[in-house]
Amino acid sequence: MSPFKYGCTVSDEFFCPRPELERRLAGHIKSGQHVAVVGPRRTGKSSLVLETARKAKGYSLFHVDFLDVRSRAEMCKRMVASLSRLEATDSWFSKMMKMLVRLRPTLSIDPRDGSPTICIDTREAAALGSLDCILDALVAQTARRKVCVVLDEFQDIMDLDDGENVLAIMRSRIQLDSRTPYIFLGSVRHKMLDIFLDSRSPFYHGAALFDVGDIKADDFYRFLCRRFAVGRRSFPRESFDAIAAAVRNTPGYIQEVSDALWQSSKAGDTLQVSDIAKSLDVIFARESEHYSFAIRQLTALQVQVLTAISTRGGKEIYSGDFLTAASVKSTASVKRAMSRLIDEGLVYFTDGEYRIDNPFFAEWVKRR
């Protein structure tokens, strides 16, 4: 079995310790300070926060992920499922069933891990007042015991039809819950800043910003060497540096390449820089169907713009040079294409340039 994990949160031996961040975050949890952890996807926000919250002595964990949530009903359902995981005892389930009786809860099994969970009917979940009822149940718990509340991909709430209203309801409850640490995580920077730094937002100044940055190269290198050593592979520093540079130090992508290197090597091997290209082929073989699917969802114009970013880079995309590279006639067309590419999460803007979010997808597009 591969000693590497990517595309999920990591814990225990799969988690490379980040002692400084863990210490600072643990301090915020203890003092009940609300924090907003903002940073690109796959940089280890969820893993860091969950690992730290799990280690916080005496705290129960309430974790709900709002990624791609489409309606208030779905949001309520996710929150109820998270509430039911606050404690793994029969008495807790019966208590929850009573507290949420208005929402007609039923016991069911979580298909992901077979654990018991509580479901609520979609119609009940969509009813006005159900969110208040769930927040009341949560706050009733935080008044009684120490709970660390983790709200993941929080910015996706803004995309609900009544997102502003939902945020206002949440803020009004959270405001009364001053001793409980609320940790808001978000991968879409501008949306998170709108929520926490715009004076018109209900969450204006509602949390201290917390940046996770990169995992220290020396620490991550040592961590990966130990993982490779489990299967007697040696991993020279220059191979690590080459991978890290290619994927802009993103831990999730570094682990993905490491896993591909692992799959295409055997005990006793040394993983050279020259092996990295081979590992990309492993990744393309695994992912090409997803990549082709993503491409098929786009118009010809959008594909041209995406391809131009992959070959030429995403600086000055309204220049004549870019238009030529993309074979596009007008800047208006580029603008239209970009808007869709950004909405789809394929491209994002940072440090004065547009970038393709996934570096492997970018390379695949470039080679097409």
Residue 52 interacts with Mg ion (CB under 5 A)?
no
64, interface contact from ligand ADP, Mg ion, none, CB < 5-8 Å by kind: none
* Residues that contact Mg ion, how many (by CB under 5 A): 1
Q: Is 131 exposed, middle or buried (0-12, 13-18, 19+ CB in 10 A)?
A: buried
- Contacts with ligand ADP by CB under 6 A lie at 5-10, 15-16, 18, 41-47, 187, 215, 251-252, 255
What lies within 8 Å, CB to CB, of 313 at 6+ separation is: 353
State CA 349 to chain mean position distance. Answer: 17
Element (H, E) at 49: helix 45-55
302, interface contact from ligand ADP, Mg ion, none, CB < 5-8 Å by kind: none
Smallest gap from residue 118 Cβ to Mg ion (A):
24
Phi/psi at 36 (5° precision):
-115, 115
CA–CA distance, 274 with 78 (Å, rounded to integer): 45
Q: What is the DSSP string of 282-335?
A: HHHHHHHHHHHHHHHTS-HHHHHHHHHHHHH-SSSTTSHHHHHHHT-S-HHHHH
251, interface contact from Mg ion, ligand ADP, none, CB < 5-8 Å by kind: ligand ADP
Residue with the shortest CB distance to ligand ADP: 44
What lies within 8 Å, CB to CB, of 324 at 6+ separation is: none
Tokens matching residue 95 = 């208590």
Nearer to ligand ADP, 159 or 321 (CB): 159
Tokens matching residue 6 = 């990517």
Smallest gap from residue 10 Cβ to ligand ADP (A):
5
Q: Are 283 and 256 in contact (CB under 8 A)?
A: yes
Residue 250 interacts with Mg ion (CB under 5 A)?
no
Nearer to ligand ADP, 149 or 337 (CB): 149
Residue 141 interacts with Mg ion (CB under 5 A)?
no
Nearer to ligand ADP, 34 or 45 (CB): 45
Residue 250 CB-half CA count within 13 A: 18
28, interface contact from Mg ion, ligand ADP, none, CB < 5-8 Å by kind: none
Nearer to ligand ADP, 18 or 63 (CB): 18
Nearer to Mg ion, 49 or 294 (CB): 49
Q: Are 314 and 348 in contact (CB under 8 A)?
A: no
Amino acid found at 335:
K
State CA 225 to chain mean position distance. Answer: 25
Smallest gap from residue 215 Cβ to ligand ADP (A):
6
Residue 43 interacts with Mg ion (CB under 5 A)?
no
Residue 46 interacts with Mg ion (CB under 5 A)?
yes
Phi/psi at 156 (5° precision):
-70, -15
Residue with tokens 């970018």: 362
Nearer to ligand ADP, 116 or 213 (CB): 213
Smallest gap from residue 308 Cβ to ligand ADP (A):
27
Nearer to ligand ADP, 164 or 214 (CB): 214
State CA 196 to chain mean position distance. Answer: 18
Residue 142 interacts with Mg ion (CB under 5 A)?
no
Instruction: From 22-30, 42-50, 84-92, 313-321, give the range in contact with Mg ion by CB under 5 A.
Output: 42-50
| Residue ranges in contact with Mg ion by CB under 5 A | 46
